[in-house]
Amino acid sequence: MKMNAPENDASRCCGAAPVCGAGLPEAERIWRLGPGGSAAPAGWSFALGPDDALAPGAGPLIEGAPDDVDVVIADDLTRGRADALRLKPCHDPLLLERIDYAGRAVFFRASALGAEARSALEGGAAPSGLIRPDHRVAHLPYPAAILAPTDAAPAPPPLRSALGPVAAIIPNRDSPRLIRAALQAVLDETEEPAPVAVVIDNGSTDPETLTLYESIRANPRIRIEMNPAPFNFAAMVNRGAALARAEFSEVAAFLLLNNDIEAPAPDWLRPMAETLAAPGVGVVGAKLLFADRTIQHAGVIVGHGGVAGHDLKSAPEDAPGLCGRMAAPHLREAVTAAAMLIRTEVWDTLGGFDASAFPVAFNDVDFCLRAGAAGWRVALEPRAALIHHEGVSRRRPFSLTRFVKHQRERTMLRFRHHTIGRIDRFESPWRDPERLTPVFRMLKNLPPMRF
């Protein structure tokens, strides 16, 4: 059925311009890969406005959804002064709380809509608001609808209480200026109860660093342990978690924090803690910026380079991201441990970082992917914006031994998580996976529905 679109539909959520620079020409190339035809999908309900239309081939593709699929969210083409092909991630209920990225290209199996929901859809309710937690939702990476532009502001964030006390774990060696700034980022936070910090030192010898340690040891919110073992970041983090448990009571979440993190403004931890309290969320990452305020990390793209890479790296600080998601918390497959908040329940279930397979690199990606496989959600909280002076504390000359170890970790990630050729669930298959800034790519065949 074709019904009037709701006036408050936020279909502009992907930005005024398409993230991958794609518009009508690219949509037409995709439609040529489709089955053609203009028939509406039989047995499916949807709501399009008077100036909207189904795209060629949309009906048969939606009808071809697996039998257990209740809802299909499809890509769409928004027509206007600047045609925008809006590419979407897999179903992201966290993002939908703030931004209706699904828009009107939402198709319900008729049998999955109750009488009340059907009446609401016919009455102009936003389709995404009718998706229930028990619905199985598929993403169709095909512009199934041609939409007239509409406008709406993001919804206010839902009110959530943080889970409880946070213990920051900060590995360090020397670098007194850096570790001072990292500790300040934690201790200056106004979150209640006040966060605590555990520093795992990997053999500092710098007098200024040792003097700093002596000056802060009496602080009841800080613990420092000297651990001059061969460098193993994952093992240091694991030790920090164990020490936090032993020294502080009722820790609800671990905050993994690099020593080269700086907070340009206070109250960055609160939104991370609130997002961690969202249903099913077990891991939350922060938006990280280089010193020049360009983006260093906006989530991890699993599959980039056959392994993983940071989304939007070197893009402007205000880059909107896919579906405008950098304006709101949203789901990712992985985030970096340079600033990562983890439920202790998730940490315990997974046994912490794998210090044997990933002593230095990709331990965070591996942890996030294991968390996802265990049924937990991984999120990015863009409101938590931190400066990451990446690698400043560990700049060393080239070493063949370290290179070989790094290649071993890359191979292990590829083997364990099948990252070669993998399309990140929260990216579009039409995005070039070898580019960290979004660029459209054409495929030979239509990608399948995704979950």
**What pLDDT, in 10s, does the model give residues 348-402?**
999 999 999 999 999 999 999 999 999 999 999 999 999 999 865 555 677 888 8
Final residue belonging to a domain, choices 147, 181, 199: 147
Does a structural domain hold residue 444?
A: no
Final residue belonging to a domain, choices 147, 181, 212: 147
112 in the same domain as 261: no
Q: The CATH number of the domain where 374 resides is what?
A: 3.90.550.10
Is the pLDDT assigned to residue 437 strictly greater than 70?
Answer: yes
pLDDT, residue 54, reads 97
Does a structural domain hold residue 17?
A: no
* Percentage of the residues of the chain whose pLDDT score is greater than 90: 86
186 in the same domain as 96: no
Does a structural domain hold residue 78?
A: yes
Question: Residue 19: pLDDT band by 50, 70, 90 thresholds?
Answer: low
Is the pLDDT assigned to residue 53 strictly greater than 80?
Answer: yes
Contact 349, 326 (CB under 8 A): no
Domain that holds residue 290: 166-417
368 in the same domain as 288: yes
pLDDT, residue 107, reads 98
184 in the same domain as 109: no
Final residue belonging to a domain, choices 95, 118, 147: 147
268 in the same domain as 379: yes
**Measured distance CA(356)–CA(319) in Å, rounded:** 37
Question: Residue 4: pLDDT band by 50, 70, 90 thresholds?
Answer: very low
Does a structural domain hold residue 334?
A: yes
382 in the same domain as 323: yes
pLDDT digits (tens, 9 = 90+) for 303-336: 999 999 999 999 999 999 999 999 999 999 999 9
Contact 357, 448 (CB under 8 A): no
pLDDT, residue 395, reads 57
pLDDT, residue 8, reads 31
pTM equals: 0.94
Cis before 193 (ω within 30): yes
Question: Residue 83: pLDDT band by 50, 70, 90 thresholds?
Answer: confident
pLDDT, residue 368, reads 99
Q: For residue 7, with 0-12 CB atoms within 10 Å meaning exposed, 13-18 middle and 19 or more buried, which class applies?
A: exposed
171 in the same domain as 143: no
Does a structural domain hold residue 10?
A: no
Does a structural domain hold residue 12?
A: no
Average pLDDT of the chain? 93
204 in the same domain as 67: no
pLDDT, residue 157, reads 85
173 in the same domain as 139: no
User: Quick one: average pLDDT of 197-201?
Assistant: 98
119 in the same domain as 206: no
pLDDT, residue 451, reads 97
DSSP assignment letter at 392: G
Counting the structural domains of the chain, the total is 2
208 in the same domain as 96: no
| Alpha-carbon distance values, 172 to 176, 179, 216, 227 (Å) | 9, 7, 15, 10
User: Quick one: average pLDDT of 103-109?
Assistant: 97
Does a structural domain hold residue 435?
A: no
372 in the same domain as 262: yes
Tokens representing 437 are 């800034």
pLDDT, residue 394, reads 57
Does a structural domain hold residue 153?
A: no
User: Quick one: average pLDDT of 247-257?
Assistant: 96
**CB-based contacts of 203, cutoff 8 Å, min separation 6:** 173, 226, 227, 228, 229
